[in-house]
Amino acid sequence: MTASRSNKQLTKNVLSLTIVQIASYVLPLISLPVVSRIIGPGKYGILNFAAAYIMYFILLVSYSFDFTATRKIARDPDNGQYRSVVFSEVFYTQCLLFVFSTIVFAVMLYTVPELKANKIVFIFTYFTCIATLFTQNWLFQAMQDLSKIALFNLISKLLFTVAILVVVRKNEDYIWQPFIIGAIQLVISAWCFIWAFRKYRIKFVNVPVSRCIGVLLEDRVVFFSLVFVNLYSSTNTVILGLYQSAEQVGYYTAAQRLIVVAQSVLVMPLAQAFYPFVGKAFAEGREPGLRVVQKMVPLIIVVFGMASIVMLVLGPLVIRIFYGHKFEAAIPVFEILAIVPLIFSLNNMLGIQMMMNLGMDKLYFKITASAGILSVLLNVLIIKRWGYIGSTINWLFTEIFLLICMYFMLRRKGLNAIAIQYFKFSAIVRSLRFVRNELLGKLVKT
């Protein structure tokens, strides 16, 4: 692929992924002000408690294939036979994981009182786990054909945003929200699966169970790294739901939802598009890849730092607009977490972009495992006394802990992600110009 085509493809991917994030997080916010006022903090807390709990099963079914399978296909994207083999291995392995997840989910649903009390909500929410089985976004990412993901996501989010506004009219209708989301996502993901199967001429090959187990073992380090990352994200909500009231979960997740939207829309499109791109730079050598990272870090600090300041100032107004006066208690949460998108973007650059592309899977796992365990311990210790504010402080502290650990671990490896010369005003302006002109690919060449 020529440099010109590579730049155009990267630009297209960035735009496509931006649409994906907007569809995934911003479109549902259209219905949020209406629904939150109808169902109140308590019911809103139940919905988010269920979503956080089901995230464990989604994580298990998706495993680490968004990274590991993408990395495999990206090595030889034009090899149709190899593509079919990888696709078959991933799908059959996911089928095994789904069966296991469903058994565990059913057992827990009828043995844990907090789950059994709202079992209809949890069952409806589990539909998203079924949809995950057919969501093969890693294949589109590896083939650098992300515009299709954008289209499918946009359609699904438009459908369920409209459906929720039509169906949820009174407090008792809150149970239909996860049903609508899960059902539509399942239909769209199945459609997307069939389309990708034909588009890339996938042919299922025989994959024995022993090979599926082999795939799980090969990718286990990345998977467990993602598990520990989840320990300081979704687990905050789960532990809060087990120890505190649904209202407290509602306050915490109301602000958390907006923070996640901000970091997803601002950070993830660039992060996902740059993962295979930065990987090619590191494949040429440590210096070319490191130079890309060093150019991006000052830009991240300036752009996301300004975004965090704006979020801090506008936080109270945003909470009142989206949720109404019943959610006033969520304002301190939003203000404390306003800096999280900045720290998260730096963690992504050091952890995913650098460590993963340099094959430092085990080091990344050790760091995230430490952060995850620390987060759970702190949660258990402080959540009974400080409630949802304790969960908030815990999330911020864990992100800072991750950033410090990754930076100094990379320094020990001779990889300094911070280069003073790129913090000069002229260097930052050049980086901004690259982004403005949608020529992000030049960061790899220069």
Q: What pLDDT sits at residue 446?
A: 40
DSSP state of 351: I
How far apart are alpha carbons 203 and 83 in whole angstroms? 9
CB 38 within 8 A of CB 171: yes
Residues 6+ apart with CB under 8 A from 304: 266, 267, 341, 342, 345
Nearest partner of 48 among 257, 320, 245, 335, judged by Cα: 257
DSSP state of 82: H
Shared domain for 262 and 372, answered yes or no, is yes
Residue where a domain terminates, one of 218, 246, 281: 218
Shared domain for 80 and 132, answered yes or no, is yes
Q: What pLDDT sits at residue 93?
A: 93
Shared domain for 327 and 446, answered yes or no, is yes
Which amino acid would we find at residue 94? Q
Shared domain for 164 and 47, answered yes or no, is yes
CB 207 within 8 A of CB 92: yes
Shared domain for 230 and 201, answered yes or no, is no
Q: What pLDDT sits at residue 408?
A: 92
Shared domain for 304 and 392, answered yes or no, is yes
Q: What pLDDT sits at residue 235?
A: 80
How far apart are alpha carbons 100 and 119 in whole angstroms? 19
Shared domain for 121 and 149, answered yes or no, is yes
CB 176 within 8 A of CB 167: yes
Shared domain for 315 and 248, answered yes or no, is yes
Residue 269 to residues 24, 223, 256: CA-CA distances in angstroms?
12, 21, 19
Place of tokens 């130079």: 291
> Could you report how far apart the first and last alpha carbons of the chain are, in Å?
18
How far apart are alpha carbons 309 and 204 in whole angstroms? 51
Residue where a domain terminates, one of 175, 202, 218: 218
Q: What pLDDT sits at residue 201?
A: 84
- Full-model pTM: 0.70
CB 260 within 8 A of CB 25: yes
Q: State the angle between helix axes of 268-284 and 286-323 in degrees (0 to 180), rounded to the nearest 10.
A: 170
Shared domain for 99 and 181, answered yes or no, is yes
Shared domain for 151 and 5, answered yes or no, is yes
Task: Indicate the length of the chain as a whole number.
Answer: 446
Shared domain for 287 and 355, answered yes or no, is yes
Q: What pLDDT sits at residue 385?
A: 85
Q: What pLDDT sits at residue 443?
A: 37
Shared domain for 321 and 225, answered yes or no, is yes
Domain that holds residue 306: 220-446
Number of domains in the chain: 2
CB 341 within 8 A of CB 266: yes
DSSP state of 285: -
pLDDT tens string, the chain, 446 residues long: the values are 455 555 555 555 556 556 665 666 666 677 777 788 888 888 888 888 898 899 889 989 988 887 788 777 877 777 878 888 888 888 999 999 999 999 999 999 999 888 888 899 999 999 999 998 888 777 877 776 666 666 777 777 788 888 888 888 888 888 888 898 888 888 888 888 888 888 888 888 888 899 989 988 888 877 877 777 666 667 888 888 888 888 898 899 888 888 887 777 766 666 655 655 666 667 777 787 787 778 778 878 887 888 889 888 988 888 888 888 888 899 999 999 999 888 988 888 888 778 877 878 788 888 888 888 888 888 888 888 888 999 899 989 999 999 999 999 999 888 888 878 777 777 777 766 655 553 444 334 44
Residue where a domain terminates, one of 218, 240, 265: 218
